[in-house]
């Protein structure tokens, strides 16, 4: 009975934490930092394309055998994938639920001030909710764009389902060149990376505040770090399609 009681308490605490706004924001912050760490490593790996096909393809092969002989082939890669999927699901779920809470917490869409005090645009669109902040809109729409991009990116360069030019398993260099040799491949990627930069800029600062790292003395440093991370990651990822478009990588 004692074991069952402890288990129930742990379960209740976890449910209580997840059910709270603070708990959801904490999940968002931690999962976001996990994905940010992956993005830094992923960008560094992508930049190996500037050293030629052999270097880039060799790096892709290393990702499949890293950890051998202790880990079987692709076990480490799949472990990373599972952690990333869990982080993405946790981040998206908590973001959606927090967004719904935010909408429910706003004043009723039917409770409007008297006509003389209403903004002019409400006279023509009285059903509109109060406008959210720029940062909030950026994070919401950026998250949707990035979610759709992840699906397209996997179908393009991992499974080859929507790849143009004939997907070649084991030849990622050529697959990347094929993708960025199409106008729509470049547009999708560039839009997604710009959304990523804005998402990181606002998200990193928000995560720092949620985890208690932020303070008045660190405010300038954290904001600067957020902007630098966003700029470096955006420029690093965008440099690959730009290099293909300009013939630097071919």
* pLDDT above 90 as % of the chain: 54
| The pLDDT of residue 206 | 86
Q: Is 247 exposed, middle or buried (0-12, 13-18, 19+ CB in 10 A)?
A: exposed
Closest CA to 145 of 197, 80, 97: 197
Q: Residue 202, Cα to own-chain centre: how many angstroms?
A: 12
* pLDDT above 70 as % of the chain: 82
Section 88-102 average pLDDT: 88
Closest CA to 90 of 154, 47, 136, 143: 143
Omega before residue 69 within 30° of 0, cis = yes
Per residue in 121-172, pLDDT (tens digit) is: 344 444 333 445 656 667 778 889 999 999 999 999 999 999 987 889 889 9
Quick check: 98 pLDDT over 50? yes
Quick check: 218 pLDDT over 50? yes
Query: Model pTM?
Result: 0.81
Section 63-85 average pLDDT: 92
The Cα–Cα gap between 17 and 182 comes to: 47
Q: Predicted confidence band at 4 (pLDDT cuts at 50, 70, 90)?
A: low
| The pLDDT of residue 221 | 86
The Cα–Cα gap between 250 and 238 comes to: 16
**More confident position, 53 or 142:** 53
Q: Which two tokens stand for residue 250?
A: 């071919």
**DSSP secondary structure letter of residue 118:** S
| The pLDDT of residue 21 | 84
Three-state secondary structure call for residue 86: helix
Specify whether the CB–CB gap between 210 and 29 falls below 8 A: yes
- Would you report the helix, strand and coil content of the chain in percent, each value rounded to 5? 75, 0, 25
Q: Predicted confidence band at 61 (pLDDT cuts at 50, 70, 90)?
A: very high
| The pLDDT of residue 129 | 39
Instruction: Give the start-end residues of each E strand in the chain.
Output: none
Specify whether the CB–CB gap between 197 and 232 falls below 8 A: no
Whole-number Cα distances in Å, 67 to 5, 70, 78, 132? 40, 6, 12, 47
Closest CA to 173 of 51, 53, 12: 53
Closest CA to 86 of 145, 30, 41, 138: 30
The Cα–Cα gap between 18 and 244 comes to: 45
Name which of 83-97, 120-134, 181-195, 210-224 the model is least confident about: 120-134
CA 203, 205, 207: angle at the middle one, nearest 5? 65
| The pLDDT of residue 133 | 61
| The pLDDT of residue 120 | 45
CA R_g for the chain: 22
């Amino acid at each position: 009975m004692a074991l069952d009681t402890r288990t129930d308490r742990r379960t209740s605490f976890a449910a209580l934490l997840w059910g709270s706004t603070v708990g959801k924001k904490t999940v968002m912050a931690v999962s976001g930092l996990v994905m940010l760490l992956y993005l830094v490593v992923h960008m560094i790996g992508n930049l190996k394309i500037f050293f030629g096909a052999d270097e880039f393809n060799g790096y892709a092969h290393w990702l499949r055998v890293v950890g051998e002989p202790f880990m079987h082939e692709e076990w480490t890669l799949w472990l990373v994938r599972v952690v990333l999927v869990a982080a993405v699901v946790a981040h998206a779920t908590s973001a959606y639920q927090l967004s719904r809470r935010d909408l429910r917490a706003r004043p009723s869409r039917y409770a409007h001030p008297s006509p003389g005090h209403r903004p002019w645009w409400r006279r023509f669109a009285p059903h509109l909710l109060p406008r959210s902040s720029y940062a909030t809109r950026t994070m919401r729409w950026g998250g949707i764009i990035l979610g759709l991009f992840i699906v397209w990116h996997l179908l393009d360069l991992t499974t080859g389902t929507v790849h143009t030019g004939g997907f070649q398993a084991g030849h990622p260099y050529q697959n990347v060149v094929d993708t960025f040799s199409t106008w729509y491949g470049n547009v999708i990627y560039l839009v997604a990376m710009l959304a990523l930069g804005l998402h990181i800029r606002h998200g990193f600062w928000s995560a720092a505040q949620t985890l208690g790292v932020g303070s008045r003395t660190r405010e300038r440093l954290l904001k600067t770090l957020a902007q630098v991370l966003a700029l470096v990651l955006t420029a690093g990822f965008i440099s690959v399609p730009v290099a293909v478009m300009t013939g630097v990588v071919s």
